[in-house]
Structure 1
Amino acid sequence: MKVRQLERIDASSYRSLRLEGLKLYSEAFASSYEEEQDLALEEYEEKLSQPNMITLGAFDAGQLCGVVTLQKVKLIKMKHRIHILAMYVSEEKRQKGVAKCLIKEAIQTSKQLDGIEQLHLTVVSVNEPAKKLYQSFGFETYGFDKKALKINQEYYDEELMVLNIESS
């Protein structure tokens, strides 16, 4: 398993994996398959080139099988934070340590960035495997966003989690 930062040349693989995640697990993402299915490849290239975002990809036998994005906060008073977004591992690679590799690399990458003290993320409250993964790395729940997502008249709460990387 190799984890590295994705670049513009990875846009096609990234797009395919992202759309798979949006389609299969719509409750896990704020964005929807319907919103992203028609985006041009160039828009995914732009996403991978934004200076305030780092998207890490996990590769198995050269195939992209998992992703996680780190988004730096631009506001001066919140520059000590970074957000974990858009975590997804392909169906066939689940339960094989891919997510652990991605989170471990996300934490290491964050520690190397100047001034970063905290990693923040949100996770749908019913996603027990994801919550257990994050807790295993020391993330703690500090709040809830009730009815954060509404999909086909059904609401989903999100848990707000944080990891203080100075102590991890």
Structure 2
Amino acid sequence: MDIQVRHATDRDGAAIKTYLTDLRAEAPDTLRQRPPPGPGEIESWLASKLALDRSFILAAFDSGAVVGLLDLQAGQRSDNRHVARFGVSVGRASRARGIGRKLIECALVEAKAWPELCRVELECVSWNTSGLALYQSLGFEIEGIKRKGVNFRGQPEDDVFMAMVW
């Protein structure tokens, strides 16, 4: 496995757009389904993340193609600067290769170095057992369940809230 994980830059817009378009075509039932990105949307999203002082996007590349993505952002106000939230995805053809783990581990190393930060949180749908197992193996704990909090598969179902605190 020759996967390279690095910070996404504005030059990665086209590769990220291809990845997200392909991911949406897979229609995974563990991610929010959004319409395909329109002209300039990926670039605007990248610019907004890059403009913040405690925010980043990590991309996993395999032979130049994006195969996984993680975006993490800490709170920007004095009452939530100690908390960061992330979302992560890996394309179907690249799953079960440790890419999600590598993205999260890289993100945690960086986020833990930020002053004041002491909590990273995420949401995971209750039927994503491999995701839940991955997060727990990295030290995330279940803090709560939002009953019927998401509707990804045509009916309201539970959403699991997890966090790592140090």
- TM-score band, normalised by the shorter chain? 0.7 to 0.9
Correspondent of 2:42 among 41, 44, 50? 44
Let me know the Cα RMSD of the aligned residues.
1.7
**Match of 1:132, as an amino acid?**
A
Indicate whether 1:14 and 2:16 are aligned. Answer: yes
Contact 1:19 1:33 in 2 (8 A): no
Query: Structure 2 CA distance, aligned partners of 1:132 and 1:153?
Result: 24
Deviation at 1:75, TM superposition (A): 2.6
User: Aligned partners of 1:25 and 1:144: how far apart in 2?
Assistant: 24
Structure-2 separation of matches of 1:7 and 1:145: 34
1:101-121 per-residue CA deviation (whole Å, 9 max, x = no partner) reads: 101011111112222111000
- Structure 1 segment 49-68 matched on structure 2, within 5 A: 49-50=47-48, 51-52=51-52, 53-68=55-70
Any stretches of 5+ residues in structure 2 without a counterpart? none
* 1:146 counterpart residue number: 147
CA spacing shift, 1:68–1:158, aligned 2, 3 Å: same
Q: Where do residues 14-163 of structure 1 align in structure 2 (5 Å cutoff)? A: 14-30=16-32, 32-34=33-35, 37-40=36-39, 42-50=40-48, 51-52=51-52, 53-85=55-87, 87-151=88-152, 153-163=154-164
Gaps of 5+ in 1: none
Identity %: 23
TM-score between the two structures when normalised by the length of structure 2 = 0.88
Q: TM-score, normalised by structure 1?
A: 0.87
Question: How many residues align structurally?
Answer: 160
SS in 2 for 1:115: coil
Using the alignment, how far apart are the partners of 1:133 and 1:6 within structure 2? 23
Flag the 1:152–1:139 CA change in 2: closer, same or farther, 3 A.
Answer: closer
State the AA in 2 paired with 1:22.
Answer: R
Structure 1's consecutive aligned runs of 4 or more residues displaced over 4 angstroms after TM superposition are none
